[in-house]
Amino acid sequence: MTEICAEVCLPTHDLRGDIGFFNKVLGMRMDMIYPADDPAVAVFSGHGLSVRLDAGLDVGAGQLLIRTDDVEGFVDGERALTSPGGTQVAIEELDEPFVMPETVHSFVVRRLADQAPWVIGRAGMHYRDLIPDRLGGSIIASHIRIPDGGPVPDMVHYHTVGFQLIFCYRGWVDLVYEDQGEPFRLYAGNCVIQPPQIRHRVLYASDNIEVIEIGVPAEHVTTIDHDMQLPNGPNNPTREFNGQRFVHHKADEATWKPFRVPGLQSRDTTIAEHTGDVAGVHVIRVGEGAKDWTKHTTDILFTFVMEGTMTLEGEGRDPYPLEAGDAFVIPPDMKTRYANSSADLELLEVSLPAGFDTIVGK
């Protein structure tokens, strides 16, 4: 059986001083030192790392990042240290900090016809950015596609997020989630939310699968879990992950009701009640009556045109003719109207937070 060992090599100009520093200050174990009469190399291990200090290494000073769940108790609360031999050591929290930026409100219209570039992202998926300015980093909305169906080269992973939605727009995809039982197929028109840090994996996709993914904030950490096997058990479908519960919304089980905007109706995905009103998600279609001007009070209001056509009218703006694949963001207190809607119009609306007021009338 082949045995393999990997080490990070760092220069040192004071090996004797570094021996005490790495051993006593950083709490690492010395595994090797040579030559005995005039040591020039020493190897230390600890905190999941193996380090080789080499006095003959002619490179710039090395850097170490140590993460711990007890920053105040590790090295007396110091956050930055320099070893006698020149290695710079930073001490940070074990988990990447979750930062929710303040929303920078703007009126955004993103049209498929404008041919925004598709970028190759994680697991070979193609990503198209639906909110280019990301509202100051508060949200990312991606149109994702996998041109060739089949097994997806994904691993069990989780996201450090405030909210995350996966809406199947075209085709289908097989998914599996922590505590939610066996893998299942997410069909077009259906959606799931991925509560913060729920382990999951994308397994298999149909040809030309397309999904809309919403993530808050825009920049969030994805962590691979090499230990968890999915599906796991026993099932715990009502488990809360940071105050949110997993949702698998199915279109054929939903009820259509009048929408907050006159002349439209919607099916509620129940995501608001499962996230404690962190976010609301509705699928919208044409209803009865005239479409009036409205404005809203929520922080973020994102809409994606899934089918049909419409004209987005905004106070003080030129009208925007929209069609399937287009998206828009309406900032708080901006008056808009959904005009010239085709009979097959279908929209996906995401609001953060879920509870807000809609004011009708010019």
pLDDT digits 0-9 by tens, 230-276: 999 899 999 999 999 999 999 999 999 999 999 999 999 999 999 99
Return the residue matching tokens 């999915």: 230
Return the residue matching tokens 């054929």: 252
**Phi–psi pair at 190, nearest 5 degrees:** -105, 165
Counting residues of the chain whose pLDDT is more than 70, the rounded percentage is: 99
**pLDDT at residue 188 greater than cutoff 70:** yes
**pLDDT at residue 95 greater than cutoff 90:** no
**pLDDT at residue 123 greater than cutoff 70:** no
pLDDT digits 0-9 by tens, 124-136: 678 999 999 999 9
pLDDT digits 0-9 by tens, 4-40: 999 999 999 999 999 999 999 999 999 999 999 999 9
pLDDT digits 0-9 by tens, 302-356: 999 999 999 999 999 999 999 999 999 999 999 999 999 999 999 999 999 999 9
Q: Per DSSP, what are the bridge partners of residue 338?
A: 312
The domain covering 253-360 belongs, at the CATH homologous superfamily level, to Jelly Rolls (2.60.120.10)
**pLDDT at residue 299 greater than cutoff 70:** yes
Task: Report which of 146, 135, 172 is spatially closest to residue 350, judged by C-alpha positions.
Answer: 135
The domain covering 108-248 belongs, at the CATH homologous superfamily level, to Jelly Rolls (2.60.120.10)
pLDDT digits 0-9 by tens, 132-168: 999 999 999 999 998 888 998 899 999 999 999 999 9
As a whole number of angstroms, the distance between CA 206 and CA 211 comes to 12
What is the model's pLDDT at position 279?
A: 98
What is the model's pLDDT at position 115?
A: 74
Do 108-248 and 253-360 share a fold?
yes
Residue 97's pLDDT band, with cuts at 50, 70 and 90, is confident
What is the model's pLDDT at position 249?
A: 98
Counting residues of the chain whose pLDDT is more than 90, the rounded percentage is: 87
**pLDDT at residue 80 greater than cutoff 90:** yes
Return the residue matching tokens 């005239």: 290
Residue 48: CB atoms within 10 Å: 7
pLDDT digits 0-9 by tens, 164-178: 999 999 999 999 999
The CATH classification number of 8-93 equals 3.10.180.10
Does residue 343 or residue 116 have the better pLDDT? 343
CB of 31 closer than 8 Å to CB of 42: no
As a whole number of angstroms, the distance between CA 299 and CA 220 comes to 19
Does residue 149 or residue 83 have the better pLDDT? 83
As a whole number of angstroms, the distance between CA 135 and CA 141 comes to 11
Mean pLDDT, all residues of the chain = 94
pLDDT digits 0-9 by tens, 264-276: 999 999 999 999 9
What is the model's pLDDT at position 126?
A: 87
What is the model's pLDDT at position 122?
A: 66
Domain boundaries, the chain: 8-93, 108-248, 253-360
What is the model's pLDDT at position 229?
A: 96
